[in-house]
Amino acid sequence: MTDQAPNPYAGPQRVLSGVQPTGDLHLGNYLGALVKFVRLQHEMPTFIFVADLHAITEWQDPAKLKGQVREITAAFLATGLDPKVATIFAQSAIPEHAELAWVFDCVARVGWLDRMTQFKDKAGKHKERASVGLYAYPVLQAADILLYKATHVPVGEDQKQHLELTRDIAGKFNHDFERPGFFPLPEPLTQGPGARVMSLRDGQVKMSKSDPSDYSRINLTDDADTIAQKVKKARTDAEPLPEQLEALEGRPEAQNLVAIYAALAGLSPAQVLGEFAGQGFGAFKPKLADLAVSVMGPIGAEMRRLLADPAEIDRILGDGAERARAIATPTMAEVRKIVGFWAG
Ligand code: TYM
């Protein structure tokens, strides 16, 4: 990709991340992203949005989309995002996301997008039938981030490649328009044992909203019995848990359950092994189920309570959109001038 000189960005530090409203949120979304949002909101100005423009890269029922946006917003709030501290909004409320994405479509190279593995996974064998939006999706993601000149982006590991593309787009824009440091080169924040939560049915594939088996994931809205059942049925092997982390190599399911326990308990995987070494899954799984129920159960209940008052959720999104606009409008006005548009 582009040669990037050190970037002299000197603006304020900001956190930004987004979640697509395309299905129930699961433990992977929670540990890979939501938990980090909650922590970071007290460290830097934080912008968290529901990516409804991204959602329509694949067909969404227009009668349901708004409700899906409210559900993700309820999940943010139930997890602990404080709308007075963090700016929570819907992507479609700020049309500048799409406008900046167009400018970036003309900065990014086809060769860069051709390398995106998520497009290959999602488009499958028939890429000529995928929407153009699905192909250009990572460019819109770059616009989401850079419209707010975000410096830190908490995401799961599956988004790392999109963050690299964002840095390349920022670097090429700054270089081509001779504005060094105009856009920051944002850092992905992916650390921690929850960065890549795997399916409960197969330790080699990530936990995902689109997996046809509901037993592959724990949803934020699952009740206690369902969570316990899913943990009980999770695929494992016959060996007891080892003393050393290295001994989990080649045991992806065991590794995944230990990582989930660690992330939910706020421990390191080594500490979890310290507690459970020598025990089999017959003993470990009930402990994991109890832990998952104690962390996730209250979140589901709080989501249901919040969703009973959609007007309040809309009020929060409206307030967040106003605060987001205060950053997005001036950035886009500067970009129009830099690019030389007549309407700049
Ligand atoms: P999305 O909606 O697929 O997922 C939301 C967040 O959850 C993380 N995640 C996981 N983390 C750990 N283990 C898993 N199994 C797992 N599955 C999902 C994702 O990494 C993500 O952080 N393109 C983004 C949404 C987006 C965005 C942005 C993110 C749009 N614009 C700008 C950051 C900045 C997506 O589809 O995430």
Annotated catalytic, 232?
A: no
Packing angle, helices 252-265 and 281-307, rounded to 10: 50
Give residue for tokens 């400018």.
Answer: 103
Specify the pLDDT at position 4.
Answer: 53
Atom of ligand 1 lying closest to residue 206 CA: 15
- Encode pLDDT of 166-217 as tens digits: 999 999 999 999 999 999 999 999 998 899 999 999 999 999 998 999 999 9
- Residue positions counted in the chain: 344
Q: Give the whole-angstrom CA distance, residue 314 versus residue 80.
A: 18
Least confident range from 2-11, 113-122, 148-157: namely 2-11
Strands 46-50 and 87-90: parallel
With contact defined as beta carbons under 8 Å apart, do 268 and 261 qualify?
no
Catalytic residue among 149, 206, 230, 285: 206
158 lines ligand 1 (CB under 6 A): yes
What would the CATH number be for the domain defined by 15-196+310-339?
3.40.50.620
Instruction: Choose one of 22, 29, 91 to mutate for the ligand 1 pocket test, by most ligand atoms within 8 angstroms of C-beta.
Output: 29
Query: Quick one: which atom of ligand 1 is closest to the CA of 159?
Result: 20
Q: Which amino acid is at 311?
A: A
Q: Work out the average pLDDT over 241-245.
A: 96
CATH of 214-304, one of 2.60.40.420, 1.10.240.10, 3.40.50.300, 3.40.50.410: 1.10.240.10
Give ranges for CATH 3.40.50.620 in the chain. 15-196+310-339
Catalytic residue among 66, 160, 209, 287: 209
Rounded-to-integer distance, Cα 152 and Cα 213, Å: 33
Residues of the chain with CATH 1.10.240.10: 214-304
Q: What's the 95 CA to ligand 1 centre distance in angstroms?
A: 21
Q: What is the pTM of this model?
A: 0.96
pLDDT tens track for 55-105: 999 999 999 999 999 999 999 999 999 999 999 999 999 999 999 999 999
Mean pLDDT of 37-57: 98
For helices 269-276 and 281-307, what crossing angle results, to 10°?
130
Q: What percent of the chain has pLDDT over 90?
A: 94
Please write the tens of the pLDDT for every residue from 266-319.
999 999 999 999 999 999 999 999 999 999 999 999 999 999 999 999 999 999
CB atoms within 10 A of CB 85: 12
